């Protein structure tokens, strides 16, 4: 890799759920000793509180009214990102299907996104980071050193999610078919929302992970980074 340019390096990895963003971003962060930032976990952490309050995710006014009373912080332990809500570590509660659905709806709201935007940008101003989400390259870090957009077929993504939930013992009655349907519905919502829709940045490198190993995707991303640093 070339000598790094002045300033901090930022890698933006976007894409729909189930394409491997988190797994790949964490692995690259470990290899490069960058700070890994899971922006989806931030939305999920807020959603844990919305669920506790018994809010209807579709009730934008109620969801946004709850925001001022939610204290959200990030803590890193041995390189792992922990989400703290009102003093409680909720990290092990973020990956259920219910929280996924709540986050998918509430993340469309401008006040929810604005609440997290500056936190995300501040992290990128203070360290070399790799950040994954759905609008990192287009909205959060439009000046990122490298922008990557990952894709994969819906069925492949559903199979990955199913195996993940089984491993975490959080299947909660979901089937492969119901997970695939949820993925397709979320894709539609994310790509058609008015605020920060899911789409690749104009200068993003698009990689279809359907038939690639994690190592192959990592290698492609690191090759692109080497061209820019």
According to DSSP, residue 134 is labeled S
The average confidence (pLDDT) of the chain is 93
- List C-alpha distances in Å: 200 to 61, 150, 206: 30, 9, 8
Per DSSP, the chain holds a count of helices (H) and strands (E) of 8, 8
- Predicted confidence (pLDDT) per residue in 44-79, tens digit: 999 999 999 999 999 999 999 999 999 999 998 887
In angstroms, the CA 30 to CA 195 distance is: 32
pLDDT at residue 2 tops 60 = no
Question: For the chain, which residues make up each domain, given as ranges?
Answer: 10-38+104-228
- Residue 140, classed as helix, strand or coil, is helix
Where does 10-38+104-228 sit in CATH, by number? 3.40.50.300
Which pLDDT score, from 0 to 100, does residue 79 have?
77
Q: What is the pTM of this model?
A: 0.84
């Amino acid at each position: 890799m070339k000598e790094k340019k002045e300033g901090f390096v930022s890698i933006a990895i976007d894409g729909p759920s189930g394409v491997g963003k988190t797994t790949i971003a964490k692995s690259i962060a470990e290899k490069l000793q960058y700070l890994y930032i899971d922006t989806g976990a931030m939305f999920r952490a807020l959603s844990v509180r919305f669920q506790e309050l018994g809010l209807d995710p579709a009730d934008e006014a109620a969801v946004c009214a709850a925001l001022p009373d939610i204290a959200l912080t990030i803590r890193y332990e041995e390189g792992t990102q922990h989400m703290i809500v009102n003093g409680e570590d909720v990290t092990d509660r973020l990956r259920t299907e219910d929280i996924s659905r709540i986050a998918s709806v509430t993340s469309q709201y401008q006040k929810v996104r604005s609440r997290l935007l500056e936190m995300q940008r501040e992290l990128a101003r203070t360290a070399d980071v790799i950040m994954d989400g759905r609008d990192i390259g287009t909205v959060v870090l439009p000046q990122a050193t490298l922008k990557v957009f990952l894709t994969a077929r819906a069925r492949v993504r559903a199979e990955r999610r199913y195996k993940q939930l089984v491993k975490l013992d959080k299947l909660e009655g979901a089937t492969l078919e119901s997970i695939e349907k949820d993925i397709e519905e979320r894709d539609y919502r994310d790509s058609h929302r008015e605020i920060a829709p899911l789409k690749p940045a104009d200068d993003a490198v698009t990689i279809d992970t359907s038939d690639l190993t994690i190592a192959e995707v990592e290698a492609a991303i690191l090759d692109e980074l080497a061209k820019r640093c």
